[in-house]
Structure 1
Amino acid sequence: MTVHAMIYAAMERLSPSEQRLAKVLLASYPSAGLKTVAELAARAQVSGATVVRFVRHLGFNGYPDFHQCLHEEVQQSAASPLQRYESHQVTHRMGELESTLAGFEQGLRQTFARTTPAEIKKVVALLADPDRRILCAGGRFSGMLAQYLAQMLTQLREQVSYVPGGTEWANRLLDIGKRDLLVMFDFRRYQADSVRFARACRKHGATVILITDPWLSPIAEVSKHVLTCEVDSTSPYITFVPAMAMVERLVSELIDSLGGRARERLEKLEAVWQEITNDNER
């Protein structure tokens, strides 16, 4: 379990001052936790003793133990496929189907156990808001998740678009404003241009939803909602199976939220589809 998950799980048991500290840590995770006790206490406007009590409530022996755990998370989050390949060769035999399936199941369970129904409802409410324009974007690999989500949302509501990277991001920033909702996908190793684009969108007034891994993309600092998905796999590459499942869950709950509006749009889509296809293509 990551420190982020520990903080989230302990939130209801914390005192008011510890909860304030927890919110500071989550808002700037993990960078805020890499500060000294005095620096973190000053940032959260709590005492040093509160910081020490807080990390012990999380299960650490003290602040150095907490600090070390965060450092290890940062190192793990920065690991390249090549580095994970070396570990993979030592610890795993290729072709073990049961191991792969067990890994997927564990990742799915951990992902959905970490995400509360209340958080999902808030995200779905934003996705269902007809006054908002929705932009979906991602990185070199996670962009396919953004594109898939945009395709699904387009069939259910108006004003949805997938924004590929590069110059298109700059073009879109010309018109970004308070009506816009950016759904951003960013996984380790986090892309600098993705972070810059999300921050720029937020600066222009857009609301940001981030879908990321447990170590949290820096985009979390400017996001209204953050949904984390497990990424550990039996191969040297991270897996997007839990992230894809998260997308499917959002789409499913959005359909329930939209009700008749979703059905009406799907009926229109079917009619349009019949106009532009022949019988052999259906």
Structure 2
Amino acid sequence: MSDDRKDLLVYIQKKIPSLSKSHRLIANYILEHYDKAAFLTASKLAINVHVSEATVVRFANALGFEGYPDLQKELRELVKTKLTTVQRVEMSPDYSTHSKTLKKVLKSDIENIRLTLENIDHETFQNIVNEILNAKKIYIVGLRSSSALAEYLGFYLNLILDNVVFVRYGISDMFEQIMRISEEDLLIGISYPRYANRTIELMNYAQEQGVKIIGLTDSTSSPIYNLADYALIAGSNMASFVDSLVAPLSLINALIVSVGMCEKEEITNYFNKLETIWDRYNVYNSKKR
């Protein structure tokens, strides 16, 4: 999305005076029902507004989009941040049976991974691996639903490296936890809709300190995208009120494996020691059934 369309609803509102009568009808419908319009096909939107499907397509062109699918995509990005959880439940597709739920959710996750793989920037991925390996200290922050991703990344990076700090809610304020961050360090910020304000604030603070920042998020319109020196996009298109974290988790797995392979000899020795400790203190159930 271009800078002048950052807030799509404001952009449409400003464009209304220059639009034709039929286009104004569509614009007003979207402004009042953007949560529904985001999931309507061009033909269904046309029926709701009482115009032709061709008029809907021309409306998208009048706003500067190549076609209606591009406009709909922007509307769906908008919906991610503006819909409440209750509205998400109401907008969920047909989950009338458990079988339908299973198929829809798994297909949605597969599609998210496919799109992530197709659009990933391999050079950026390599640069991020290098930044992780070269950082003096690595701070990882991800809050709300993204905390699961941040903890997973932190857990495995901490097994490979010895300089990982997982920033979390606790006794000390999160700003106190990153107060000593320096230009030699790295901050990895993970944020998915609905984007947590504190993650954005922490990344802003790190940027002010001249720290190199890695971002993992769902789209280029994410509020953390422009804060990052390197950003990886992994889709999380919602199948319901639950955001899909399958694609970002898969991407995090790839990062962990790539970093691990660069430290293969060191982590082999480390894991040999860990296995001895795990066995001695019965960390894992080793009984055969």
Does residue 221 of the first structure (1) align with residue 196 of the second (2)? no
Amino acid of the structure 2 residue aligned with 1:64: G
Query: Are 2:149 and 1:145 equivalent residues in the alignment?
Result: yes
Aligned to 1:105, the other structure's residue is in SS state helix
Is 1:178 matched with 2:153? no
* Alignment partner of 2:110 out of 92, 105, 108: 105
Task: Please identify, of 96-105 and 163-172, the stretch whose mean Cα deviation from structure 2 is larger.
Answer: 163-172
| Offset of residue 267 of structure 1 | 2.7
Among residues 165, 182, 190, which one is paired with 1:161 in the alignment?
A: 165
Q: What TM-score results when the alignment is normalised by the length of structure 1?
A: 0.71
Partners of 2:226 and 2:127 in 1: CA distance: 18
User: What's the CA shift for 1:124?
Assistant: 0.9
Q: Does 1:200 align with 2:205?
A: yes
Q: Tell me the distance in 2 between the aligned counterparts of 1:187 and 1:279.
A: 33
Is contact 1:30-1:70 (8 Å) kept? no
Aligned to 2:23: none
Distance 1:162 1:223, change over 3 A: same
After superposition, the C-alpha distances for 1:86-110 in whole angstroms (9 at most, x for unaligned) are 1115x44342222222111111111
Q: CA deviation at 1:33?
A: 8.8
The aligned amino acid for 2:200 is V
1:188 paired residue number? 193
Q: Secondary structure of 2:200's match?
A: helix
Aligned to 2:15: none
Which secondary structure state, in structure 2, belongs to the residue aligned with residue 141 of structure 1?
Answer: helix
Structure 1 vs Structure 2 CA RMSD: 3.0
**1:31 counterpart = 2:19:** no
- Aligned residue identity for 2:174: W
Q: Equivalent residue for 1:93? A: 96
Unmatched segments (≥5 aa) in structure 2: 12-59
| Distance in 2, Cα, partners of 1:265 & 1:245 | 24
Q: Distance in 2 between matches of 1:248 and 1:88?
A: 29
Q: Deviations over 1:20-67 (max 9, x none)?
A: xxxxx5xx797399998xxxxxxxxxxxxxxxxxxxxxxx84653379
Residue number among 130, 135, 138 corresponding to 1:134 in the alignment: 138
Gap runs ≥5 in structure 1: 4-24, 37-59
Alpha carbons of structure 1 residues 256 and 62: separation in structure 2 relative to 1, 3 Å: farther
Q: Which has the higher contact order (CA 8 A, sep 6+)?
A: 1
Question: Are the counterparts in 1 of residues 214 and 231 from structure 2 also a CA contact under 8 Å?
Answer: yes
- How far apart, in 1, do the equivalents of 2:261 and 2:267 lie? 8
Q: Percent identity?
A: 19
CA contact (8 A) 1:104 1:233 kept: no
The structure-2 alpha-carbon separation of the partners of 1:88 and 1:170, relative to structure 1 and needing over 3 Å to count, comes to same
Shift of 1:148: 1.0
Deviates more, 1:63-72 or 1:246-255: 63-72
C-alpha spacing 1:32/1:262, structure 2 compared with 1 (3 Å): farther
Partner of 1:93, secondary structure, is: coil
For residue 72 of structure 1, what is the aligned residue in structure 2? 75
- Provide the rounded CA distance (Å) in 1 between the counterparts of 2:209 and 2:225: 17
Q: Hey, what does 1:81 align to over in structure 2?
A: 85
Write the mapping of 1:229-268 to structure 2, written as runs, cut at 5 A: 229-268=234-273
2: CA distance, partners of 1:195 / 1:30: 21
